[in-house]
Each structure stands twice: as structure tokens, then as C-alpha cells.
Amino acid sequence: MDAHGLGDAWDRVLGTQPAPPVWLVLAAGAVALVAVVAAPLWRLSRNIVTIAHEGGHGLVALLTGRRLSGIRLHSDTSGLTVSSGKPSGTGMILTAAAGYLAPPLLGLGGAALLAAGHITALLWTAIVLLAGLLVMIRNAFGVLSVLVTGAAFLLVSWYAGDRTQAVFAYLGVWFLLLAGVRPVLELQRKRRHGGAPDSDADQLARLTGVAAVLWVGLFLVTALASLLAGGSWLIGR
């Protein structure tokens, strides 16, 4: 690509793009909702939530000065982020809390970008974040998951028209906002039946002395508040 083409691409990233009609925004939300509530689709789409979840752990670990050893994503939609450093304290607490908070907060940030008309900027922000995550992935399935997701964003941002880019971006943001709720409910259901003794909420309880159910409540309130605020921004746009 020549300098003129790169300049045009950069102008698109910094500029604004028209939002799709409200009916398309609502249709994207409906498709995202089906991907979250329909069990067969959820088994596949939950991998995207795992990418955001583990990416949240990894990013906060780095921001708080911990050493990030690697991230693994598994085909059963579980994941593992390994970091080293002080086994307690603020950095460890923030790192442990970041997983369930990451998908809805990423969705909220995406909704803010879309509300401001920055559709291309959102797509390229996702590409940059996925590229950074890819460097830290330590297993084959994880590499494949991140590459496929990143390739989808790259192809749409580079080759698709404005309308297709907008629908893809709104679909992705709706999905993160809606999908931020279900894993928290699944977590509490597992805990209620004696499962997940080493969940993020239980680790946080051991680190802070605050009951695990209160951490689950924080995750749920954050997800619902993000969905309410982000959804209103998407529809209002």
C-alpha cells in the first residue's frame, strides 16, 4: 500500500463513520442475544468471552507490575492466566478481579466509541488488543482462537463496506455487553452446587476476607450496569 492509501486508512481510524439505522442496531443486538442464550451457539461464542476474560487478567497483571508468564485458552471455553509477583496485595486482587469485569467493561468502552461514531477505530483497537494477547498465548488452541477472531476483525475493517463494518462492530459490542452477564450467573450456579472452589471470586475472598458471593455480586452489578448504559448508548446513537 502506498503512502496515500495509508493516509486514507489512518484518516478513517481517526475519523467518524455513520451509524447504521436503528433497526439494524436492534437486529445486531437480537443476533448477539441469540448467541448468548442458545446453548449450541453459546458453546462456540463463549470462546470470545474467554479471550476477553483471560486478556483482562493478563492486561491488569502487566499494568500492576506483575510478570505475565503466559495465557492458555482451552476448547472447553476455560482459560488460565499465569503471572508471578507478590502473592497478595493490590496487584494480585486487581488481577484476580479483572477477568469477569473485562467483557462487560470492554463492551461499555466499545459502546462509547460507537456512540461517538468511531466504528473503524473500534475495529482497529480490537485488532491491536488481540495482537498483544497473541504474543502471550502458550497453547495451540489459544493461538487458533485469537488468530481467527483477529482475522475476522482485520478482514472486515480492510475489505468490507461502511454498512458491513458498522453491523459487525455493533454485533461485537452487543455480544460483549450481553455475554458479560451469563458467565457470572454460571459461576454462582457452580458455586452453589459446590463446584469451582478456586474460582476468581473464591480467590478474591481468600485474598481480601470479603465473602465470595459479594464478589460475584460485584461482577453481576458491573455486567448489568454496563449492559444498561452501553445498550442505551448504542440505541441512542
Each residue of 129-148: pLDDT tens digit? Answer: 999 999 999 999 999 999 99
3-state secondary structure 191-202: HHCCCCCCCHHH
Each residue of 60-113: pLDDT tens digit? Answer: 999 999 999 999 999 999 999 999 999 899 999 999 999 999 999 999 999 999
Each residue of 22-74: pLDDT tens digit? Answer: 999 999 999 999 999 999 999 999 999 999 999 999 999 999 999 999 999 99
pLDDT, position 197: 82
Q: Is the pLDDT of residue 6 over 60?
A: no
Across residues 159-183, what is the average pLDDT? 96
Q: How many CB atoms lie within 10 A of CB 92?
A: 20
Q: Does residue 169 come out as left (phi exceeding 0), alpha (psi in the -120 to 50 range) or beta?
A: alpha
What's the rounded Cα separation, in Å, for the pair 91 and 62? 9
pLDDT, position 9: 62
Query: What does the mean pLDDT of the chain come to?
Result: 93
Question: Is 147 exposed, middle or buried, given 0-12, 13-18 or 19+ CB atoms closer than 10 A?
Answer: middle
What's the rounded Cα separation, in Å, for the pair 204 and 208? 6
